[in-house]
Amino acid sequence: MEKVYSKKENCSGCSACYNACPTKAIHMEPDEEGFLYPVIDESQCVDCRKCVNICPLIYEGNYKQKSEPEFLVAKHKSEEVLMSSTSGGAFTALSNAILREGGVIYGVDYDEEFRVLHKRTETVEGRNRMRVSKYVQSNMGNIFQQIQKDLLDKRTVLFTGTPCQAAGLRAYTRYSLLTENLYICDLICHSIPSPLVWEDYKKLLEKEHGGKLTNIQFRSKVIDWSRENSNKTFLYKTSNSEEVHNDERFYKLFFGKKTIMRPSCSECQFTDIHRASDITIADYWGIEKYAPEWMDAKGVSVILVNNEKGAKLLEKCTEELKYEKRPKEESLTEQQRLSEPTKFPEDRGKFWDDYRKHGFEYIVEQLPK
Ligand SMILES: Cc1cc2nc3c(=O)[nH]c(=O)nc-3n(C[C@H](O)[C@H](O)[C@H](O)COP(=O)(O)OP(=O)(O)OC[C@H]3O[C@@H](n4cnc5c(N)ncnc54)[C@H](O)[C@@H]3O)c2cc1C
């Protein structure tokens, strides 16, 4: 076997194949845009085709459920939680329910160099580090194997991640008889930015200010939670001063032209109300129009309850979370990523040519002022 995928658009980098390979013949390697792809070592491959057979982008139906979700508006009751979360704090309520039962949380954190990766935690402190959307594709490592081990040890597990990562976990646990204690939560995801651009961006901030980055805050709520204002505030600090900086270039680069998103995002199979997860969380955009009484400048969540397991998990959150049913049409109107993938700009190829030829700083100089 040569490759797990036929073209880059057909690999989301979920790492299910890497985690599942029985002979460890697969490793994940970054391409020239910094996205991880599976590479097969021919000498170790026994041609069992497990990698291809479980791949969520190849598997018919992509592990999505046929049932339609229930749509809810939700908000955490604690102001402190709202201010520490990207949306309405749904993740904190869901993860607290699992932690209270002695369970384990898998979510996205940083390492000591602010590289973005999936981690495992059993503590509130570890979970708190997973709060806030990090707009960079996370490195999944051997997370699915760790989850499998927890399930074998009869632990309850909550996994959170993008829709393709959630489908990857569904794929990895396809033959497992142990999934009763596994809860899968995904996000509505507009598309996922390049880890290479993130690395170069961090280096630029350190060059401009001196010192090492000590603090990063994506989509801060210092103005408010609205799409417009939270997307203006990328906050960070470096080691040589206590000053908090705000960099408006971040959103122009990371969201603006969608040139730095993973190729598979342009053909995403998961921009659908039929989900691979048990429960889906996101921002309740437009809530001020549909139910102004729910509007809160500190953040409001939409929750899609995708099956009975999702409903069971949500029931455990009533002490912390206020929620109520809403018509699905509201979210279908506001959330494009429930119906179609992100469209890439026609000059994506030129962008990456310029990046390779002239470097990252040239790219930043070209951003609209
Ligand atoms: C790349 C990306 C794109 C998104 N696109 C949309 C969108 O189009 N529309 C929308 O309404 N919402 C989108 N979201 C979701 C939204 O930003 C919030 O993450 C979500 O509402 C949860 O907020 P919260 O207040 O409940 O949780 P928080 O406490 O803010 O927790 C954040 C959660 O996101 C997970 N997470 C953080 N970074 C990543 C990452 N890089 N990859 C995978 N999981 C991550 C954490 O594990 C945690 O579960 C996106 C999130 C990400 C990471």
Tell whether ligand 1 has an atom less than 6 A from the beta carbon of residue 87. yes
d(CA 1, ligand 1 centre) in Å: 35
The pair of three-digit structure tokens given for residue 18, joined into one six-digit string: 């890497």
Q: Is the shortest distance between the CB of 107 and ligand 1 below 6 Å?
A: yes
Nearest to 260 by CA among 358, 359, 345: 345
* Residue whose pair of structure tokens reads 């009763």 in the numeric block: 180
Residue 352 lies in a domain: no
Q: Look at residue 34 and tell me if it is in a domain.
A: yes
Based on its alpha-carbon atoms, the radius of gyration of the chain, rounded to whole angstroms, reads 20
pLDDT tens for 267-318 read 999 999 999 999 999 999 999 999 999 999 999 999 999 999 999 999 999 9
Q: Cβ–Cβ contacts within 10 Å for residue 157, how many?
A: 24
pLDDT category, 1, cuts 50, 70, 90? Answer: low
Q: Establish if 346 belongs to a structural domain.
A: no
The answer to whether residue 222 sits within a structural domain is no
160 and 100 within one domain: yes
Please provide the DSSP assignment of 118-178 as one string. Answer: EEEESSHHHHHHH-S---SPPB-TTHHHHHHHHHHTT--EEEEE-HHHHHHHHHHTTT-S-
Q: Could you tell me the pLDDT band of residue 369, with boundaries at 50, 70 and 90?
A: confident
In the chain, the percentage of residues whose pLDDT exceeds 70 is 100
Residue count of the chain: 369
36, containing H or E segment: strand 36-40
Residues 282 and 331 in one domain: yes
pLDDT in tens, 182-196: 999 999 999 999 999
Is position 129 within any domain? yes
In terms of domains, do 32 and 148 share one?
A: no
Atom from ligand 1 closest to the CA of residue 282? 21
Using the atom order of ligand 1, give the atom closest to the CA of residue 84.
Answer: 29
Residue 44 pLDDT level (bands cut at 50, 70, 90): very high
For 27, the domain range is 8-54
Strands 235-238 and 213-217: antiparallel
Distance of CA 35 to the CA centre of its chain: 14
Which of 131, 125, 72 has its CA nearest to residue 99?
125
Q: How many domains would you assign to the chain?
A: 2
pLDDT tens across 69-128, in order?
A: 999 999 999 999 999 999 999 999 999 999 999 999 999 999 999 999 999 999 999 999
Domain-located, residue 221:
no
pTM for the model stands at 0.97
Q: Does 278 reside within a domain?
A: yes
Residues 99 and 139 in one domain: yes
